[in-house]
């Protein structure tokens, strides 16, 4: 039977599962941020061995209210981590155990790394971040697509990763609510005129609706579904992607778009002269993605990949999608329900300036997405500064 774990029975569970030696001296702390899930860190004080137990809660705490939310997302998360591990084990935590009834995933403790968002806010560069995320996205996308696996097998995976409740959160909070006067939105009163202009922007709303349709209908590759910089642990040498509870089959550009958007939001939080490392990350992620995806394609034994001539189309569509999805993510993180610390931690005047910039940038990313080569993103940031 499901019940939320306490620190004490998380320890009891770890012992029962035989995850530590008999003589272990265990301590446990709940370290999650507590909106959707519990995250317990259990340490053997004798050896410093440690594990993480993540448990889904049957509701999400959103602005004080509780929304019921399926526990199945814990199973989606552990299955996605295992699927990703079969292609890129170096970029995900090891999963030691999972239990559908308890809605838990027991996994490798990554506390020696830092959440990338926090590090980027502190001014860290994480020199390998883009190379690793480019490879992560390319390989997980390719090998879960119809070009990297048997098409009948792929249909089974599409079914396995049907994730309607979590997708609905994205459909509403990313693609709909920010473009209308919806009560989930949240922004500084000083931004009201800018936001009302956005709500009246029919061209923008039509383009965002097209992107939403892609998200709803294009079952192309297995996506992480929530690949912002808070879902990435990093150091100078290592990168690990966590938290794929939103995983589902969707358009190839979605994960790249969310990642780009969160790099851009960090860039906007900085002085102009400090933004270059973020633009470099965006361009390098894209380059590595294209190179890796192309190599996977050329090496593929899948008959369909060998008789298909659409590699170039897939790559160019992926960029258009990524830029459009990035625009949606930039806007929703500015005025929607869930914000980013990169902007929210700025003092008011700088915050307002950065958020106005984000709204202009997000709009142009969406409406110009078909005409922007990757290096044009940097120029667009400059052009939308005022
Ligand atoms: P949520 O889905 O609630 O956002 P996350 O999986 O993002 O949960 O985890 C929330 C926080 O818990 C992370 O920001 C990180 O601080 C911590 N955490 C999660 N997984 C691990 C891990 N494998 N190792 C160390 N810390 C972790
Ligand atoms: Mg969280
Ligand atoms: Mg998270
Ligand atoms: Mg999550």
Output the pLDDT for position 309: 85
Determine the atom of ligand 1 nearest the C-alpha atom of 93: 23
Half-sphere exposure of 5 (CA within 13 A, CB side): 31
Is 14 touching ligand 1 by the criterion CB < 6 Å? no
Domains 1-108 and 110-383 share a fold: no
| DSSP strands (E only) in 224-320 | 232-234, 239-241, 248-250
Region 30-46 average pLDDT: 92
Confidence class for position 61, pLDDT limits 50, 70, 90 = confident
Are 77 and 54 contacting, i.e. CB atoms less than 8 angstroms apart?
A: yes
Q: What is the mean pLDDT of residues 193-204?
A: 98
> Residue 125 and residue 173: Cα distance in Å, rounded?
29
Q: Ligand 4 centre and the CA of 349: distance in Å? A: 31
pLDDT band at 234 (very low <50, low <70, confident <90, very high): very high
Nearest Cα neighbor of 353 from 188, 185, 198, 217 is 188
202 lines ligand 1 (CB under 6 A): no
**pLDDT for position 33:** 81
Distance between CA atoms of 312 and 293, rounded to whole angstroms? 11
Contact 263, 114 (CB under 8 A): no
- Å from CA of 342 to ligand 2 middle: 15
Phi/psi at 31 (nearest 5 deg)? -115, 5
pLDDT band (50, 70, 90) for residue 78? very high
Task: Report the CATH superfamily, name and number, of domain 110-383.
Answer: Aminoglycoside phosphotransferase (APH), C-terminal lobe (3.90.1200.10)
Instruction: Please state, in angstroms and rounded to a whole number, the distance separating the CA atoms of residues 44 and 28.
Output: 9
CB of 54 closer than 8 Å to CB of 37: yes
**Contact between 255 and 225 (Cβ < 8 Å):** yes
Phi, psi angle pair for 80, to nearest 5°: -65, -45
Ligand nearest to the CA of 228: 3
Atom number, ligand 1, closest to the C-alpha of residue 242: 6
Q: At the topology level of CATH, where does 1-108 sit?
A: Phosphorylase Kinase; domain 1 (3.30.200)
Average the pLDDT over 168-189 and give the result: 97
Quote the ligand 1 centre to 255 CA distance (angstroms).
18
Domain positions in the chain = 1-108, 110-383
Q: Of all protein residues, whose CA lies closest to atom 1 belonging to ligand 1? A: 37
pLDDT value of position 35: 77
115 lines ligand 1 (CB under 6 A): yes
**CA 193 to ligand 3 centroid distance, Å:** 32
Name the band, by pLDDT with cuts 50, 70 and 90, for residue 4.
very high
Q: Please report the sign of the dihedral spanned by the C-alpha atoms of residue 41, residue 49, residue 228, residue 341.
A: positive
Contacts of 368 (CB under 8 A, 6+ apart): 323, 380
Kindly report, residue by residue over 110-154, the tens digit of the pLDDT: 999 999 999 999 999 999 999 999 999 999 999 999 999 999 999
| Mean pLDDT, rounded, for 34-40 | 89
ipTM topping 0.95: yes
For the residues 272-299, what does the mean pLDDT come to? Answer: 98
Query: With contact defined as beta carbons under 8 Å apart, do 253 and 261 qualify?
Result: no
What would the mean pLDDT of 208-220 be, rounded to a whole number?
Answer: 98
User: What separation in Å is there between the alpha carbon of 243 and the centre of ligand 1?
Assistant: 7
Question: Closest Cα to residue 61, out of 31, 39, 36?
Answer: 36
Query: In this model, does residue 63 exceed pLDDT 70?
Result: no
Here the tokens at position 131 are 């190379």
Interval 279-305 mean pLDDT: 96
Find the largest Cα–Cα distance for the chain: 66
Give the pLDDT confidence score for residue 331 in this predicted structure. 99
Mean pLDDT of 205-218: 98
Residue 343 burial by Cβ neighbours in a 10 Å radius (0-12, 13-18, 19+): buried
Q: Ligand 1 pocket, 54 CB below 6 A?
A: yes
What number is the average pLDDT over the span 64-74?
Answer: 88
Structure token pair of residue 27: 């301590």
Residue identifier of the C-alpha nearest atom 6 of ligand 1: 243
Encode pLDDT of 333-355 as tens digits. 999 999 999 999 999 999 999 99
Q: Looking at residues 262-271, what average pLDDT do you find?
A: 98
């Amino acid at each position: 039977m499901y019940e939320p774990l306490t620190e004490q029975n998380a320890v009891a569970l770890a012992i029962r599962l035989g995850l530590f030696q008999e003589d272990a001296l265990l301590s446990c702390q709940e370290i999650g941020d507590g909106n959707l899930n519990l995250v317990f860190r259990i340490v053997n004080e004798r050896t410093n061995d440690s594990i993480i137990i993540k448990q889904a809660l049957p509701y999400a705490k959103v602005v004080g209210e509780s929304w019921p939310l399926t526990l199945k997302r814990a199973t989606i998360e552990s299955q996605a981590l295992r699927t990703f591990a079969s292609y890129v084990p170096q970029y995900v935590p090891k999963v030691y155990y999972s239990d559908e009834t308890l809605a838990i995933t027991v996994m490798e403790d990554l506390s020696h790394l830092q959440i990338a968002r926090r590090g980027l806010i502190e001014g860290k560069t994480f020199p390998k971040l883009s190379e690793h995320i480019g490879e992560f996205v390319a390989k997980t996308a390719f090998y879960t697509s119809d070009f990297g696996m048997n098409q009948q097998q792929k249909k089974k995976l599409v079914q396995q990763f049907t994730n309607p409740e979590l997708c609905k959160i994205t459909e509403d909070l990313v693609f709909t609510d920010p473009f209308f006067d919806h009560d989930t939105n949240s922004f500084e009163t000083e931004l009201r005129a800018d936001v009302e202009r956005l709500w009246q922007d029919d061209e923008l709303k039509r383009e965002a609706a097209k992107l939403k349709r892609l998200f709803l209908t294009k079952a192309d590759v297995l996506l992480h579904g929530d690949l912002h910089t808070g879902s990435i642990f990093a150091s100078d040498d290592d990168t690990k992607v966590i938290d794929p509870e939103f995983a589902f089959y969707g358009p190839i550009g979605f994960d790249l778009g969310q990642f780009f958007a969160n790099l851009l939001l960090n860039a906007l939080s900085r002085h102009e002269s400090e933004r270059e490392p973020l633009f470099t990350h965006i361009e390098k992620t894209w380059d590595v993605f294209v190179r890796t995806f192309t190599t996977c394609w050329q090496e593929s034994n899948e008959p369909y990949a060998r008789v298909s001539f659409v590699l170039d189309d897939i790559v160019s569509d992926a960029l258009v999608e990524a830029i459009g999805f990035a625009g949606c993510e930039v806007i929703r993180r500015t005025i929607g329900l869930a914000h980013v610390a990169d902007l929210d931690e700025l003092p008011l005047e700088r915050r307002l300036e950065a958020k106005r910039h984000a709204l202009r940038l997000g709009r142009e990313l969406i409406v110009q997405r078909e005409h922007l080569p990757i290096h044009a993103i940097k120029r667009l940031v400059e052009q939308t500064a005022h």
